[in-house]
Amino acid sequence: MARFFDLNPEQQAAVKCTEGPLLVLAGAGTGKTRVITMRIAYLLHNGAKPENILAVTFTNKAANEMRARVAQLVEKVEAKKITICTFHALCVRILRQDIERLGYKSNFAIYDEGDQLGLIRKIIARISAKNEKLDPNLAKNLISRAKNAHWKIKEPEGESSLPAAVFHRYQEELKTANAVDFDDLLILTVNLFENHPDVAQKWQTRFRYIMVDEFQDTNGLQLELVRYLGGNHHNVCVVGDDDQSIYGWRGAEVANILEFEHHFPNPEVVKLEQNYRSTGSILGAANSIIRHNPRRRPKSLWSQNGEGEKVTVMEVPDDHEEANYVISEIQKRQQIGGLNWSRFAVIFRMNAQSRLLEENLRRLRIPYRIIGGRSFFERREVKDVLAYLSCLANPSDDLNLLRIINTPARGIGSSTIELAVAESNQHKTSIYETLRSPVFQEFLSSRTKTAVEKFAELLDRYETELLQPLANLSAIVDKLLVEIDYTGELRKSCKTQEEALNREENIRELVRTLGDFQGRSTEGLTGFLAEVTLDQDREEKSEGDHDGVTLITFHAAKGLEFPHVFLVGIEEGVLPHDRSKVDGHLDEERRLFYVGITRAMESLTITHCSSRMKYGSASPCHPSIFLKDLDPVCVEIVSYHVIANQPASEGTARTHFAKMRELLG
């Protein structure tokens, strides 16, 4: 345990507290992950069995990182037996074992938000009257909110309103498709524990020691889950920072961390306030902002890193000038310091703000990477192939079956499909079963009948093949794609050959991923599909490791750090965003600002515009009200005109040339 003594006293206290509830309030950059991983090592050192340890995170990225760091601290064999995963992955594991008690089959499919939306759209189209309109996205949010508010899965009150009817129907169709959505994973697990105490007990005994990361982001159901899992032994350690709760709009309850004592009485409470990331000026600025929030656990970050340079705040004329200034400032600093581009990040409230920044970066040929954006798994061809796989893994999956039933075209037209849908609704059977039923086939012309039979036979044949114990999944999928001539379909549907080749490559990539999966897991096709929907942003690993300036939203920046950070567009209407004020969610916007500030290690520059292009026309902007709260001691307000009209100062130029010489010689 050599490294235990590298921890500061508070961190040590958190690590050593292994029995009973423990709340670790870990401010930004205070070594949170270090404490969790060290605590796991400490538990093992003190005789805990690795299989009894559970660490839950929110993202796969966090889980992977934690796994890697634990692996450095403990024996490999032991590390493998520790459960480190996301809430959702944990629920999948639990449900695969016992979901049959709730009337689902264990090969259930998981619908991501795209699938969800598709299903909702389908339902709205079918059941709404002509004069009724319902935005599918709105319906999706309503459904999610309803589920999280513990409506549970039962008849909603009255069928009169359209949203209620859609909700009801949605849940019904999910169940016949043997599918669950992200919310269901949590709800069903809680239901399972509630109604089947033996199952609850099995897992309570299994996980003697529980750790939850980013606890401020848990929602009601996740708390409920933790309460069940820790219900007997109360060895529950939660780590988080209420000041960094920025996902309230997605259902996260800050109250969970603010009222932790309420759920797990008499916890040990440890505050981590020593920051190892930022300079004093940056922390001073951060403290002065967050202090103004009501309803929080008071904390004050400090560090031994010295004051450092002051935080720069600058007003710029407009968003064009802002982007231009920020990017040239980055270029200047990069040259002077001979730094990697990856040491710089520009953080903004809305993705739309990245455009001007990108333009400037491209103009100056500076490499950059944007975090976020279209996922690999949202591309049409990838979804098509995944739809085939979903149908083979779970033939009741109507939504995915409809996606591929005539892709590529095989003579099953819309009237036939409509008939099949109506028929399956009437008999409450899946479309797959309907297609195979002789009664249904009697309705069809002989030509269509042949097409339907052939399609059903295709699915049957590949399903059987994939179920063989030693089946080589990726080889079989390759064979299937050749048989249906999906490549031919791509060539036909793409405008340019380049696009077709690109899409073909995407499919090869997907099949490769499947092969990789089979190489390291025994969970087969169902497991692969679950992993793919629960971990959608893997592509970054392949492309995203080059040096470049990071462009990122405040939300996505949580948990990251950069030596030099620029916060842009810190104006009323942007941060805080206009849409957040009406709801009275100002606190969360302030936390967002706080999160942005605390990403910076060495330097922080904040800009706001006097005018900004909004929806095509220039509109005047006022500095964010948050800027008033910045402690003047930490801040230097810089005039844009002085900077913009000033040629490089002699001092700067000299350093510059010195650096150049150094680089050359």
Partner DNA sequence: CGGTCTATAATTTTT
Partner DNA sequence: TTATAGACCG
> What are the catalytic residues?
32-33, 213-214, 244, 599
Work out which of 252, 285, 393, 635 binds DNA, going by CB under 7 A.
Answer: 252
We find the least distance from the C-beta atom of residue 86 to DNA, in angstroms, to be: 5
616 binds DNA (CB under 7 A): yes
> For residues 281 and 111, what is the distance between their CA atoms, to the nearest angstrom?
46
> What token pair was written down for 312?
């720069």
We find the least distance from the C-beta atom of residue 91 to DNA, in angstroms, to be: 9
Stretch that binds DNA, among 6-14, 45-53, 161-169, 345-353 (CB under 7 A): 345-353
613 binds DNA (CB under 7 A): yes
362 binds DNA (CB under 7 A): no
Look up residue 646 and give its DSSP letter. P
We find the least distance from the C-beta atom of residue 351 to DNA, in angstroms, to be: 4
Closest CA to 55 of 24, 90, 31: 90
372 binds DNA (CB under 7 A): yes
* Helices 60-73 and 32-45, packing angle to 10 deg: 50
We find the least distance from the C-beta atom of residue 63 to DNA, in angstroms, to be: 8
We find the least distance from the C-beta atom of residue 61 to DNA, in angstroms, to be: 6
Stretch that binds DNA, among 38-46, 98-106, 243-251, 323-331 (CB under 7 A): 243-251
Would you say 311 or 361 has its CB closer to DNA?
Answer: 361
89 binds DNA (CB under 7 A): yes
- Binding to DNA, residues 200-219 (CB under 7 A): 214, 217
Site map (CB under 7 A) of DNA, residues 17-56, x = contact: ----------------------------------------
61 binds DNA (CB under 7 A): yes
Closest CA to 411 of 373, 366, 446: 446
We find the least distance from the C-beta atom of residue 83 to DNA, in angstroms, to be: 15
Work out which of 101, 196, 227, 577 binds DNA, going by CB under 7 A.
Answer: 577
Helix (H, G, I), strand (E, B) or coil at 292: coil
Q: Is 557 exposed, middle or buried, given 0-12, 13-18 or 19+ CB atoms closer than 10 A?
A: buried
Conformation bin of residue 157: beta by default, left when phi > 0, alpha when psi is -120 to 50: beta
Question: What separation in angstroms does the CA of 361 have from each of 179, 356, 357?
Answer: 44, 9, 6
- Binding to DNA, residues 385-414 (CB under 7 A): 413-414
Closest CA to 408 of 373, 346, 360, 454: 454
Look up residue 101 and give its DSSP letter. G
Q: Is the dihedral of CA 488, 489, 493, 497 positive or negative?
A: negative
> For residues 523 and 395, what is the distance between their CA atoms, to the nearest angstrom?
18
We find the least distance from the C-beta atom of residue 533 to DNA, in angstroms, to be: 7
468 binds DNA (CB under 7 A): no
Tally of residues, the chain: 665
Q: Which residues does 263 contact at the CB level (< 8 Å), separation at least 6?
A: 223, 227, 256
Would you say 5 or 615 has its CB closer to DNA?
Answer: 615
Would you say 249 or 302 has its CB closer to DNA?
Answer: 249
Would you say 372 or 524 has its CB closer to DNA?
Answer: 372
Residue with the two structure tokens 């400490």: 42
Would you say 250 or 427 has its CB closer to DNA?
Answer: 250
Backbone angles phi, psi at 253, to 5 degrees: -110, 105
149 binds DNA (CB under 7 A): no
Work out which of 51, 113, 172, 268 binds DNA, going by CB under 7 A.
Answer: 113
5 binds DNA (CB under 7 A): no
Work out which of 534, 597, 600, 630 binds DNA, going by CB under 7 A.
Answer: 534
Q: Is 419 exposed, middle or buried, given 0-12, 13-18 or 19+ CB atoms closer than 10 A?
A: middle
Site map (CB under 7 A) of DNA, residues 578-607, x = contact: -xx--x------------------------
68 binds DNA (CB under 7 A): no
Site map (CB under 7 A) of DNA, residues 500-519, x = contact: --------------------
Neighbours of 293 (CB within 10 A): 15
- Binding to DNA, residues 414-443 (CB under 7 A): 414
Stretch that binds DNA, among 81-89, 284-292, 337-345, 642-650 (CB under 7 A): 81-89
Would you say 618 or 648 has its CB closer to DNA?
Answer: 618
Stretch that binds DNA, among 306-314, 515-523, 535-543, 629-637 (CB under 7 A): 535-543
We find the least distance from the C-beta atom of residue 532 to DNA, in angstroms, to be: 11
Would you say 447 or 661 has its CB closer to DNA?
Answer: 447
Q: Is the dihedral of CA 589, 591, 595, 601 positive or negative?
A: positive
Closest CA to 85 of 64, 110, 68: 64
Would you say 487 or 536 has its CB closer to DNA?
Answer: 536
We find the least distance from the C-beta atom of residue 374 to DNA, in angstroms, to be: 9
We find the least distance from the C-beta atom of residue 182 to DNA, in angstroms, to be: 4
The string of DSSP letters for 128-182 reads S-TT----HHHHHHHHHHHIIIII-SSPPS-S-SHHHHHHHHHHHHHHHTTEEEH
Closest CA to 330 of 321, 317, 342: 342
Look up residue 78 and give its DSSP letter. H
Q: How far apart are the first and last CA of the chain?
A: 45
Query: Are the C-beta atoms of residues 308 and 280 closer than 8 Å to each other?
Result: yes
370 binds DNA (CB under 7 A): no
| Chain positions contacting DNA, by CB under 7 A | 58-61, 86, 88-89, 113, 136, 182, 214, 217, 247, 249-252, 349-352, 372, 413-414, 534-537, 553, 555-556, 577, 579-580, 583, 613, 615-617
